[in-house]
Each structure stands twice: as C-alpha cells, then as structure tokens.
Amino acid sequence: MDGKEFGPFDYLWPLRLSPDGRRLALVGWRGGKTTLVVDGVEVETADPVSKYEFSPDGTRFAYTTWARDRGRCFLDGKEVPGVHSFWFLPDGRVLWGAGTTEGDGRLILDGKQYPVVGSFRWSPDLKRLARAVKHGKGVRVALDGWESRTYEDVGEILFSPGGAHLVWFARRGDTWRVVIDGVEGNAYDAIVTYPARHPPIAPAFDTPSRLGFLARRGYEVFRVEVEFPGEW
C-alpha cells in the first residue's frame, strides 16, 4: 500500500479498508500463524483472527481472535477483558458480547448489560434493543421491559425501517412463523436463510412497507411477501 509491501504470506484474508479509504487492514497466514497488519504495522497474533473491522468513521479498529472455544477482543491494539465478540454501531459506539450460549449470554453497551440468547436487533435510531432472552426452557423476545410469549427458538429479529414495528421469526413445536408486533402469521416447516451467500438469503424489508422471506413446506420452497399499508 502506498508503495510498501507486506508479507510474504501463504494465504491472505480479505482486505479491509476504512470507510474513508485512508486506512488498510489485512490478515495473513504464515508459518502456521496469523499476522494482522494495520496501518502498515505487522502484529503476529497468538490465536487465529476471526473478525476485524474499522469503526464507521474509520478512527477505531477492533478484531477478535478465537481458539479452544475462547474468544478475545482487541480495540485499538488493547485487549478488552471479559468479552468475546463485538459490533460497531453506526454512531461509532462498540457493542460487546460476553458470556456463553448456555443462557448467560450478555450484550454490553456503555457499561450497561443486557441478557441475550442468540438474536438481537437495534432500532434504526439506536434507542431500542430487541433481543431473545431465556425463559425457563424456552426463549422470549424482550423489548422495553415487555416480553413475548415463550417459544422453543427465536430466529431473525427485525425492526421495520421506520422503527415503529417489531418482527421476529419463532419456532413452536415443529413449525416456524413470522410474528409481527406479537401477532403470529402462518406456520411453515422452515424459514430459509443462507447468510454466507452474497447477497445473503435472509428475511428483509424490500421496501419500507414490504417484508419478504423464503419459507418451506415439505419439499416446496416459496417466497412470502407481507405488505403493510401506511406508515411503517
């Protein structure tokens, strides 16, 4: 970059440019170990790097290493103790993940902790957090002190583009259904998702008033569209 070479490496992960295009990060595999390069500085990490990102304004950089079922997070070169995952919010703040998947998972933002099991979603204005929480042997969706009925599992959670309504996908028994503001829709054998695909296959709002997703009944896979009149 800018005439400077890095490596050589046996393998390179995808390059990461900061949103303003002024900073570069890359991860290379060399001699059985991973090396992180940020702003031209090479750092050999003790464990493989699993995630690395710049903040939305490009001023901060965070990464996660993972080995032996243990994650470690680093922000601007310093380890953040007690957490295993991170997400940059659009306003530049960092949301941390801690705990395990056995019911004691936590999200941490500005020092405040939120219990969570699996899925969560911030409202578009970043003022409300919807999340799946453990309840007995089941799972509920929690928002602003309110909790839904109990399900065996909760999948994707979405806010409408305007933030006024909450949508989630839940399993009760052997069937999945879309739930909008607590009102359940039709039952399906599965909601089809493939987040690793580009573009990903996942429930999403195609327009501000139309939700689309793929569902399966038996061997039939079909697209479902839910239209919402008025302000959404």
Between residues 182 and 67, the one the model is more confident about: 182
Question: Do 110 and 123 reside in the same domain of the chain?
Answer: no
Final residue belonging to a domain, choices 85, 115, 145: 115
Of 46, 51, 47, 60, residue with least CA distance to 18 = 60
Q: How confident is the model at residue 46 (pLDDT cuts 50, 70, 90)?
A: confident
Structure tokens, 38: 């940020």
User: Do 9 and 110 lie in a common domain?
Assistant: yes
Are 43 and 108 found together in one domain? yes
Q: Are residues 48 and 84 in the same domain?
A: yes
Strand partners, 192: 214
Please state whether 83 falls in left (phi above 0), alpha (psi between -120 and 50) or beta. Answer: beta
Q: Find the mean pLDDT for residues 87-101.
A: 88
Domain boundary among the residues 115, 139, 164 is at 115
Both tokens assigned to 151: 């399900």
CA angle, 81 then 82 then 86, to 5°: 90
Among left, alpha and beta (phi > 0; psi -120 to 50; other), residue 126 is left
Q: Based on the domain organization, do 148 and 160 belong to the same domain?
A: yes
CA–CA separation, 44 and 51 (whole Å): 15
Residues 51 and 65: their CA atoms lie apart, in Å, by 7
Q: State the pLDDT at residue 230.
A: 57
pLDDT, position 146: 94
Task: Identify the CATH number of the domain in which residue 162 sits.
Answer: 2.120.10.30
What range does the domain containing 74 cover? 1-115
One domain for residues 136 and 106 = no
Mean pLDDT across the chain: 89
98 in the same domain as 4: yes
Percent share of the chain, pLDDT over 90: 64
- 74 pLDDT higher than 80: yes
- Distance from C-alpha of 130 to C-alpha of 142, rounded to nearest angstrom: 6
Total domains present in the chain? 2
Residue 3: pLDDT band with limits 50, 70, 90: low
Of 93, 115, 137, the domain-final residue: 115
Question: Do 199 and 157 belong together in one domain?
Answer: yes
- pLDDT, tens only, 114-167: 999 889 999 999 999 999 999 989 999 999 999 999 999 999 999 999 888 899
Q: Is pLDDT above 80 for 198?
A: no
Q: What tens digit of pLDDT does each residue of 47-71 get?
A: 999 999 999 999 999 999 988 778 8
**Span 197-211, mean pLDDT?**
82
Among residues 153, 128, 127, 129, which one has the least CA distance to residue 140? 153
Specify the pLDDT at position 171: 96
Q: How many CB atoms lie within 10 A of CB 205?
A: 18
CB-based contact 161:205 (threshold 8 Å): yes
Same domain, residue pair 1 and 110: yes
Which candidate, 164, 153, 159, places its Cα nearest to that of 204?
159
